[in-house]
Amino acid sequence: MNETVLNPQAAGDGHTPYSRYVQTEVLHTLQDLVSDSPAEPAFLANVQISEIYWALITRELLTAQVELRNDNVPATTRVLRRIVSHMEAFNANWRSLSWLTPAELMPILKGLSAKHGKDTALQGWTFREMVFLLGVKDRPSLEHFEPQPHRRKQLAERLNSPSLYDDILAALARDGKPVPPQYLTPNYAAAYVPSKDIEEIWADIYRKDDPADAWRTLAELLADIAVEFTNWKYLHLMATRRTFGSRPAYHGVDAIQWLLPTMEEIPFPEVWTARGMVA
């Protein structure tokens, strides 16, 4: 029997199965250039790939939360391992812009401002949702999404919901670990405040140093994720130094001076500080 009869959608729609699945006809219309800079196609591809990866990592973080709420720690570690791989690939994407110079970048930024208005990387809602899920909560950042009310609502809901780390602490408590009660029903929108009690929980896991302990495996994957997240921010900072320099950005603030403090935003803080307690 003719295959097109078995699959009527494939007949006469102008697509191959590949192009239909990948949406190539749409995908290759999404590069709306704003300058004559020969660097812009690579710059825009880098940004669009970033958006796809942020959304992918967010989806995986949500999957990890579902597994945690079912107390399936081994399944959670499988998801976290995928996230580490995604982040490593994502960070490698910076290499495709390592050659970018100020003279190549500035026409892009000028064209962007002229066509779409003053830009700020703070308006990437996919990045902000991922960051909230990693436990880096920041209510003032919502103001940048006033032009996108539906995304502002989405981010406000995420801000007021448990992060991955909140779910990890709840799962640790259900497993009998002495997590302080205030960390089980916190104000999810507030900036996370580290706890000596939680630090001791992780330190005890590391003291036992049992490779078969799923919590030890999970802790190491959290460290990997924090490293890759920090690597991305460092690469962003250095790319900014290299191409933009110390000029006003982010609504008048020096770009480098704005980015430097974010290097201290390291997720899962007690997983790190506990290491100094292990003899």
Q: Is 232 among the domain residues?
A: no
On whether residue 124 sits in a domain, the answer given is yes
Number of domains in the chain: 1
The answer to the question of residue 121 being in a domain is yes
CA distance 14 to 235: 42
Query: Domain with 68 in it: what CATH number?
Result: 1.20.58.480
Q: Give me the DSSP letters along the chain.
A: --HHHH-GGGSSSS--HHHHHHTHHHHTT-----S--TTHHHHHHHHHHHHHHHHHHHHHHHHHHHHHHTT-HHHHHHHHHHHHHHHHHHHHGGGGGTT--HHHHHHHHHHHHHHH-S--GGG-HHHHHHHHHTT---GGGGGGGTT-HHHHHHHHHHHTS--HHHHHHHHHHHTT----GGGTS--TTSPP---HHHHHHHHHHHHHT-TT-HHHHHHHHHHHHHHHHHHHHHHHHHHHHHHT-SSEETTTEEHHHHHGGGGG--SSHHHHHGGGG--
State the pTM of this model: 0.92
In a domain, 219, yes or no: no
Supply angle C-alpha 68, 205, 133, rounded to 5: 35
Tell me what pLDDT residue 121 has: 60
Tens digit of pLDDT per residue, the chain (279 long)? 444 444 555 556 888 999 999 999 999 999 999 999 999 999 999 999 999 999 999 999 999 999 999 999 999 999 999 999 999 999 999 999 999 999 999 999 999 888 988 766 657 899 999 999 999 998 988 988 888 999 999 999 999 999 999 999 999 999 999 999 999 999 999 999 999 999 999 999 999 999 999 999 999 999 999 999 999 999 999 999 999 887 876 656 788 888 898 899 999 999 999 999 998
Kindly state whether residue 278 falls inside one of the protein's structural domains.
no
Full residue range of the structural domain in which residue 187 is found: 41-196
Is 104 a member of any domain? yes
Burial class (CB in 10 A: 0-12, 13-18, 19+), 18: exposed
**Burial (Cβ within 10 Å: 0-12, 13-18, ≥19) of residue 266:** middle
Task: Give yes or no for a contact between 217 and 77, defined as CB atoms under 8 angstroms apart.
Answer: yes
113 lies in some domain: yes
Q: At how many degrees (to 10) do helices 164-174 and 40-69 cross?
A: 20
For residue 33, give both structure tokens: 């250039």
The distance of Cα 183 from the centroid of its chain, to the nearest Å, equals 23
Residue 149 lies in a domain: yes
